[in-house]
Structure 1
Amino acid sequence: MVQLFNIQEKFQKVTEYWSPKIAGELNGQYIKLVKAKGEMIWHSHDDEDELFMIFKGTFVMEFRDHTATVGPGEVLIVPKGVEHCPRTEGDEEVWLILFEPQATKHTGNIDHEMTKHEQDWI
Protein backbone atom coordinates (compact mmCIF):
# COMPACT_ATOMS: atom_id res chain seq x y z
CA MET A 1 0.00 0.00 0.00
CA VAL A 2 1.31 3.45 -0.92
CA GLN A 3 1.63 5.73 2.10
CA LEU A 4 1.45 9.50 1.83
CA PHE A 5 1.19 11.80 4.83
CA ASN A 6 2.07 15.31 5.92
CA ILE A 7 4.55 15.28 8.81
CA GLN A 8 3.38 18.66 10.15
CA GLU A 9 -0.22 17.38 10.31
CA LYS A 10 0.89 14.14 11.98
CA PHE A 11 2.92 16.03 14.59
CA GLN A 12 -0.22 18.01 15.51
CA LYS A 13 -1.73 14.70 16.66
CA VAL A 14 1.15 14.02 19.07
CA THR A 15 0.01 15.44 22.41
CA GLU A 16 2.27 13.76 25.00
CA TYR A 17 6.00 14.16 25.47
CA TRP A 18 8.26 11.12 25.14
CA SER A 19 5.37 9.03 23.77
CA PRO A 20 6.25 7.80 20.25
CA LYS A 21 3.42 7.55 17.73
CA ILE A 22 3.63 5.40 14.61
CA ALA A 23 3.14 7.37 11.38
CA GLY A 24 4.16 4.73 8.83
CA GLU A 25 6.03 1.51 8.22
CA LEU A 26 8.46 0.09 5.69
CA ASN A 27 10.72 -2.94 5.46
CA GLY A 28 9.88 -4.13 8.97
CA GLN A 29 10.53 -0.70 10.45
CA TYR A 30 8.24 1.91 11.94
CA ILE A 31 8.47 5.62 11.32
CA LYS A 32 7.70 7.16 14.71
CA LEU A 33 7.04 10.78 15.62
CA VAL A 34 7.92 12.03 19.09
CA LYS A 35 7.60 15.35 20.85
CA ALA A 36 10.20 15.76 23.56
CA LYS A 37 10.63 18.17 26.44
CA GLY A 38 12.82 17.72 29.51
CA GLU A 39 14.75 14.54 30.13
CA MET A 40 14.11 10.88 29.38
CA ILE A 41 15.85 8.05 31.27
CA TRP A 42 19.21 6.35 30.79
CA HIS A 43 18.77 3.20 28.71
CA SER A 44 20.18 1.16 25.84
CA HIS A 45 18.89 -1.21 23.19
CA ASP A 46 20.71 -4.54 23.03
CA ASP A 47 19.52 -5.55 19.57
CA GLU A 48 18.80 -2.38 17.57
CA ASP A 49 20.55 0.77 16.45
CA GLU A 50 18.40 3.90 16.80
CA LEU A 51 18.10 6.72 14.29
CA PHE A 52 16.95 10.14 15.49
CA MET A 53 16.13 12.76 12.83
CA ILE A 54 15.48 16.19 14.29
CA PHE A 55 12.56 17.97 12.67
CA LYS A 56 12.22 20.97 15.03
CA GLY A 57 14.25 22.28 17.97
CA THR A 58 17.60 21.32 19.47
CA PHE A 59 17.98 17.80 20.81
CA VAL A 60 20.65 16.67 23.25
CA MET A 61 21.84 13.09 23.69
CA GLU A 62 23.91 12.33 26.76
CA PHE A 63 26.36 9.46 26.60
CA ARG A 64 28.52 8.26 29.49
CA ASP A 65 31.62 9.82 27.91
CA HIS A 66 30.29 12.75 25.86
CA THR A 67 27.26 14.78 24.79
CA ALA A 68 25.88 15.22 21.26
CA THR A 69 23.77 18.27 20.35
CA VAL A 70 21.63 17.81 17.26
CA GLY A 71 19.69 20.47 15.35
CA PRO A 72 16.87 20.53 12.79
CA GLY A 73 17.68 18.53 9.67
CA GLU A 74 20.43 16.58 11.42
CA VAL A 75 20.49 12.87 12.15
CA LEU A 76 21.98 11.01 15.13
CA ILE A 77 22.48 7.24 15.03
CA VAL A 78 23.03 5.50 18.36
CA PRO A 79 24.56 2.02 17.94
CA LYS A 80 22.96 -0.92 19.71
CA GLY A 81 24.23 -1.49 23.22
CA VAL A 82 25.28 2.15 23.78
CA GLU A 83 23.75 3.64 26.92
CA HIS A 84 22.19 7.05 26.34
CA CYS A 85 19.86 9.61 27.90
CA PRO A 86 17.86 11.86 25.55
CA ARG A 87 16.91 15.35 26.66
CA THR A 88 16.05 18.83 25.50
CA GLU A 89 17.43 22.17 26.62
CA GLY A 90 15.24 24.16 28.99
CA ASP A 91 11.56 24.34 28.05
CA GLU A 92 12.12 23.90 24.31
CA GLU A 93 9.83 21.43 22.58
CA VAL A 94 11.69 19.18 20.14
CA TRP A 95 10.11 17.18 17.32
CA LEU A 96 11.86 13.92 16.46
CA ILE A 97 11.41 11.34 13.72
CA LEU A 98 12.58 7.84 14.64
CA PHE A 99 13.23 4.95 12.27
CA GLU A 100 13.19 1.70 14.24
CA PRO A 101 12.56 -2.01 13.78
CA GLN A 102 9.01 -2.89 14.81
CA ALA A 103 10.31 -4.94 17.77
CA THR A 104 12.21 -2.00 19.33
CA LYS A 105 11.14 -1.42 22.93
CA HIS A 106 10.62 2.20 23.96
CA THR A 107 13.23 2.22 26.73
CA GLY A 108 15.20 -0.88 25.76
CA ASN A 109 15.59 -3.35 28.61
CA ILE A 110 14.61 -0.77 31.26
CA ASP A 111 11.04 -0.78 32.55
CA HIS A 112 10.26 2.64 34.04
CA GLU A 113 7.20 4.80 34.64
CA MET A 114 8.12 6.69 31.45
CA THR A 115 8.17 3.48 29.38
CA LYS A 116 5.41 3.27 26.76
CA HIS A 117 4.52 -0.38 26.24
CA GLU A 118 1.93 0.40 23.58
CA GLN A 119 2.55 2.87 20.77
CA ASP A 120 -0.48 4.11 18.85
CA TRP A 121 -0.81 4.84 15.15
CA ILE A 122 -1.62 8.40 14.13
Structure 2
Amino acid sequence: MKTVNLAEKLEMFSTHWDPHVVADYNGNDVMVVKFEGDFPFHHHPDTDDFFLVLEGEMVMDIEGEPPQTIRSGELFVVPKGVSHRPRADQECKVLLIEPKGEPNTGDPATAAPKPQI
Protein backbone atom coordinates (compact mmCIF):
# COMPACT_ATOMS: atom_id res chain seq x y z
CA MET A 1 0.00 0.00 0.00
CA LYS A 2 1.33 3.38 -0.97
CA THR A 3 0.16 6.79 -2.05
CA VAL A 4 0.31 7.49 -5.78
CA ASN A 5 0.83 11.11 -6.79
CA LEU A 6 -0.83 11.42 -10.19
CA ALA A 7 0.80 14.75 -11.03
CA GLU A 8 4.25 13.24 -10.42
CA LYS A 9 3.42 10.22 -12.57
CA LEU A 10 2.18 12.44 -15.41
CA GLU A 11 5.46 14.40 -15.33
CA MET A 12 7.37 11.17 -16.06
CA PHE A 13 6.37 11.08 -19.74
CA SER A 14 5.47 13.51 -22.52
CA THR A 15 3.89 11.24 -25.14
CA HIS A 16 0.21 11.27 -26.10
CA TRP A 17 -2.18 8.33 -26.28
CA ASP A 18 0.33 6.26 -24.31
CA PRO A 19 -1.30 4.98 -21.07
CA HIS A 20 0.93 4.26 -18.08
CA VAL A 21 -0.18 1.97 -15.25
CA VAL A 22 0.10 3.63 -11.82
CA ALA A 23 -1.84 1.13 -9.68
CA ASP A 24 -3.74 -2.15 -9.68
CA TYR A 25 -7.34 -2.27 -8.48
CA ASN A 26 -9.44 -5.47 -8.32
CA GLY A 27 -7.95 -6.92 -11.50
CA ASN A 28 -7.94 -3.54 -13.24
CA ASP A 29 -5.15 -1.26 -14.40
CA VAL A 30 -5.41 2.30 -13.12
CA MET A 31 -3.60 4.43 -15.68
CA VAL A 32 -2.70 8.01 -16.49
CA VAL A 33 -2.46 9.26 -20.05
CA LYS A 34 -2.14 12.51 -21.98
CA PHE A 35 -4.49 13.19 -24.88
CA GLU A 36 -3.93 15.61 -27.74
CA GLY A 37 -5.41 15.32 -31.21
CA ASP A 38 -7.80 12.56 -32.28
CA PHE A 39 -7.73 8.89 -31.30
CA PRO A 40 -9.23 6.42 -33.80
CA PHE A 41 -12.81 5.24 -33.44
CA HIS A 42 -12.86 1.89 -31.65
CA HIS A 43 -14.89 -0.20 -29.22
CA HIS A 44 -14.35 -2.67 -26.41
CA PRO A 45 -16.63 -5.69 -26.85
CA ASP A 46 -16.31 -6.99 -23.28
CA THR A 47 -15.83 -3.99 -21.00
CA ASP A 48 -16.95 -0.43 -20.35
CA ASP A 49 -14.36 2.34 -20.86
CA PHE A 50 -13.77 4.73 -17.91
CA PHE A 51 -12.32 8.26 -18.34
CA LEU A 52 -11.72 10.82 -15.56
CA VAL A 53 -10.34 14.14 -16.79
CA LEU A 54 -7.72 15.37 -14.33
CA GLU A 55 -6.68 18.51 -16.21
CA GLY A 56 -7.94 20.22 -19.36
CA GLU A 57 -10.88 18.96 -21.39
CA MET A 58 -11.60 16.30 -23.94
CA VAL A 59 -14.39 15.52 -26.35
CA MET A 60 -15.89 12.05 -26.66
CA ASP A 61 -17.32 11.25 -30.07
CA ILE A 62 -19.91 8.47 -29.96
CA GLU A 63 -21.15 7.04 -33.26
CA GLY A 64 -24.67 8.28 -33.96
CA GLU A 65 -24.76 10.74 -31.01
CA PRO A 66 -23.72 14.35 -30.42
CA PRO A 67 -20.17 14.83 -29.10
CA GLN A 68 -19.79 15.05 -25.30
CA THR A 69 -17.34 17.50 -23.72
CA ILE A 70 -15.72 16.22 -20.51
CA ARG A 71 -13.94 18.82 -18.39
CA SER A 72 -11.47 18.69 -15.52
CA GLY A 73 -13.05 16.90 -12.56
CA GLU A 74 -15.65 15.11 -14.69
CA LEU A 75 -15.81 11.46 -15.65
CA PHE A 76 -17.37 9.64 -18.57
CA VAL A 77 -18.10 5.95 -19.03
CA VAL A 78 -18.55 4.45 -22.49
CA PRO A 79 -20.61 1.24 -22.31
CA LYS A 80 -19.05 -1.91 -23.74
CA GLY A 81 -19.57 -2.41 -27.44
CA VAL A 82 -20.16 1.29 -28.18
CA SER A 83 -17.90 2.76 -30.88
CA HIS A 84 -16.20 5.90 -29.59
CA ARG A 85 -13.27 8.25 -30.12
CA PRO A 86 -11.70 10.54 -27.51
CA ARG A 87 -10.06 13.71 -28.77
CA ALA A 88 -8.57 16.91 -27.38
CA ASP A 89 -7.70 20.17 -29.13
CA GLN A 90 -5.11 20.90 -26.42
CA GLU A 91 -3.32 18.47 -24.15
CA CYS A 92 -5.46 17.08 -21.38
CA LYS A 93 -4.56 14.62 -18.65
CA VAL A 94 -6.81 11.66 -17.97
CA LEU A 95 -7.11 8.77 -15.53
CA LEU A 96 -8.30 5.49 -17.09
CA ILE A 97 -9.46 2.27 -15.47
CA GLU A 98 -9.53 -0.90 -17.57
CA PRO A 99 -9.30 -4.63 -16.90
CA LYS A 100 -5.71 -5.87 -16.99
CA GLY A 101 -4.74 -6.76 -20.54
CA GLU A 102 -7.53 -4.77 -22.21
CA PRO A 103 -6.05 -3.18 -25.36
CA ASN A 104 -6.59 0.60 -25.44
CA THR A 105 -7.78 0.36 -29.06
CA GLY A 106 -9.98 -2.67 -28.43
CA ASP A 107 -7.61 -4.64 -30.71
CA PRO A 108 -4.35 -6.20 -29.46
CA ALA A 109 -2.74 -5.70 -32.90
CA THR A 110 -3.01 -1.90 -32.71
CA ALA A 111 -2.84 -1.33 -28.93
CA ALA A 112 -0.20 0.73 -27.17
CA PRO A 113 1.91 -1.00 -24.51
CA LYS A 114 0.99 -0.08 -20.94
CA PRO A 115 4.20 0.29 -18.94
CA GLN A 116 4.01 0.49 -15.17
CA ILE A 117 5.50 3.62 -13.63
| Unmatched runs of 5 consecutive residues or more in structure 1 | none
Deviation at 1:104, TM superposition (A): 1.1
Q: Which runs of 4+ in 1 moved over 2 A?
A: 109-112
> SS of 1:37's equivalent?
strand
Match of 1:102 in 2: 100
2:114 corresponds to: 119
CA distance in 2, matches of 1:110, 1:28: 18
Q: What's the offset of the Cα at 1:4? A: 1.2
1:52 equivalent in alignment to 2:51: yes
Partner of 1:38: 37
Deviation at 1:106, TM superposition (A): 1.3
Q: How far apart, CA to CA, are the structure 1 residues paired with 2:50 and 2:2?
A: 21
Q: TM-score of the superposition, structure 2-length normalised?
A: 0.94
Looking at structure 2, the residues matched to 78 and 14 of structure 1 have their Cα atoms a distance apart, in angstroms, of: 26
Rate the CA distance shift 1:110–1:82 in 2: closer, same or farther, 3 A: farther
Q: Which residue of 1 aligns with 2:9?
A: 10
Root mean square deviation of aligned Cα = 1.2
Residue 79 (structure 2) pairs with residue 84 (structure 1): no
Q: Secondary structure at the match of 1:93?
A: strand
Percent identity, aligned pairs only, is 31
Q: Quick check: 1:75 aligned with 2:75?
A: yes
Number of aligned residues: 116
Q: Deviations over 1:16-65 (max 9, x none)?
A: 10000000011101110000100010100000101100000111010112
The answer for unaligned runs of 5 or more in structure 2 is none
TM value normalised by structure 1: 0.90
- CA shift, 1:111, in A, is 3.9
Question: In structure 2, how many angstroms separate the alpha carbons of the residues matched to 1:95 and 1:42?
Answer: 19
Higher strand share: 2
Counterpart amino acid of residue 95 in structure 1? K
